[in-house]
Amino acid sequence: MAGAALRVAGRQLSQHRGAGAPVLLRQVSAAGAGPGPRSRCCDPGGTWGPWARGRLPVLHGEGGGTSGEAGSRTPPGLRGLEGSASGSSGAACRPGSPLFEPKSCTYTYLLGDREAREAVLIDPVLETAPRDAKLVQELGLRLLYAVNTHCHADHVTGSGLLRSLLPGCRSVISRRSGAQADVHIEDGQAIRFGRFALEIRASPGHTPGCVTFVLNDHSMAFTGDALLIRGCGRTDFQQGCAKTLYRSVHEKIFTLPGDCLIYPAHDYHGEGFLEEVAHSVHCGGGADFEPSLTLSCEEFVKVMDNLNLPKPKQIGEQLGTWTPGSEGGGAGGLDSWSEGGGAGGLDSWV
Ligand SMILES: N[C@@H](CCC(=O)N[C@@H](CSS)C(=O)NCC(=O)O)C(=O)O
């Protein structure tokens, strides 16, 4: 077991726990960094989830149960949010938010080993890469890898910029993504930082190359767009496949231990940060994430095939980084990605 994961709010390393735990850093985001439009959600209010309402932006779980300490956890909705790091209003800020990019509603995660000072950053965004690089430096960490859960269509990854800003940092993405990177990963492999590792679980469906990163003690999982908060990745382009996504989520994510915390790439609905996801999965059969995932696979596919979502706002920017030769051109290019390297022109992307 890697020990208890430590959440850190703002820009301070916590002293609450020993050095034997990886640091999961969460930064309180700026006021106004609210959620994007709701595309589908079973909570018509569009407000904070009950676990977040009225709370201040603080470090989740600090002083309360943290991952790796099964049995000491606070139930969903009651998780301790003591020790507020800010006096901001809960209504304006995302409670206990990790690193957040408001335009694409993307969560970036920084994990580090405090002893070895080695870190990995998951799903960085181009616009917020300078913020993340500064944070890594301030914390005295050495960023080994900027890893991507998949080829994003809604924003440009920050991994390329981070390689420049933090020499020694290597970009990572799955081989099946077809994108270029310093390191290509595959199901069953692991990315090491200090005494810890992120295990790679292929979780295709949103795209063929999607992966979920699971901390080696299985206390945390970073699901990318396979499983979101009150949602899951769309499957209507980038060679998406609803049936494949259903299988991935059920076989690779819902099978994680009941106390595993799930960290998704987006929260479009402002539900706040939903911890204890696997716990909720066990209680609600997945309904706390995406209710349609509790349906049969056949019914889920029907729902996904009839979402009629607009294309992501930034799909043009993302495609604009492609070099000629990548398929299609224009937004339509994403529809024709090929599994074996259709997104080959991503030199500027990773
Ligand atoms: N309004 C947002 C929607 C972006 C979007 O389509 N997001 C994808 C993941 S990134 S390709 C998705 O799967 N969304 C699921 C959903 O239910 O919305 C924007 O325009 O950026």
| Segment 197-207, tens digit of pLDDT | 999 999 999 99
DSSP state, 207? S
Cβ distance 86 to 57 under 8 Å?
Answer: yes
37: number of CA atoms within 13 Å, CB side? 6
Write down the architecture of domain 6-322 according to CATH. 4-Layer Sandwich (3.60)
- 114 pLDDT higher than 70: yes
Q: Ligand 1: distance of its center to the CA of 349 in Å?
A: 19
- CA end-to-end distance (rounded Å), the chain: 32
* Candidate of 38, 105, 309, 315 to mutate for ligand 1, largest count of ligand atoms within 8 Å of Cβ: 309
* Candidate of 268, 269, 290 to mutate for ligand 1, largest count of ligand atoms within 8 Å of Cβ: 268
> For residue range 80-100, what is the model confidence (pLDDT) as tens digits?
222 222 222 222 223 345 688
Residue with CA nearest ligand 1 atom 4: 312
Residue of 278, 288, 206, 214 lying closest to 244 (CA atoms): 206
> For residue range 245-304, what is the model confidence (pLDDT) as tens digits?
999 999 999 899 887 888 889 888 776 555 555 555 665 566 666 778 889 999 999 999
Which sequence spans correspond to the domains of the chain? 6-322
Calculate mean pLDDT across residues 228-249.
93
Instruction: Write down the ipTM of this complex.
Output: 0.98
- Cβ neighbours of residue 34 closer than 8 Å, sequence gap 6 or more: 94, 102, 270
Place of tokens 């507020």: 84
Calculate mean pLDDT across residues 91-116.
74
Q: How far apart, in whole angstroms, are the C-alpha atoms of residue 39 and residue 229?
A: 12
pLDDT band at 31 (very low <50, low <70, confident <90, very high): very low
**Verdict on whether the full-model pTM lies above 0.95:** no
Is the CB–ligand 1 distance for residue 234 below 6 Å? yes
Structure-model confidence comparison of residues 258 and 78, the more confident one:
258
Structure-model confidence comparison of residues 111 and 54, the more confident one:
111
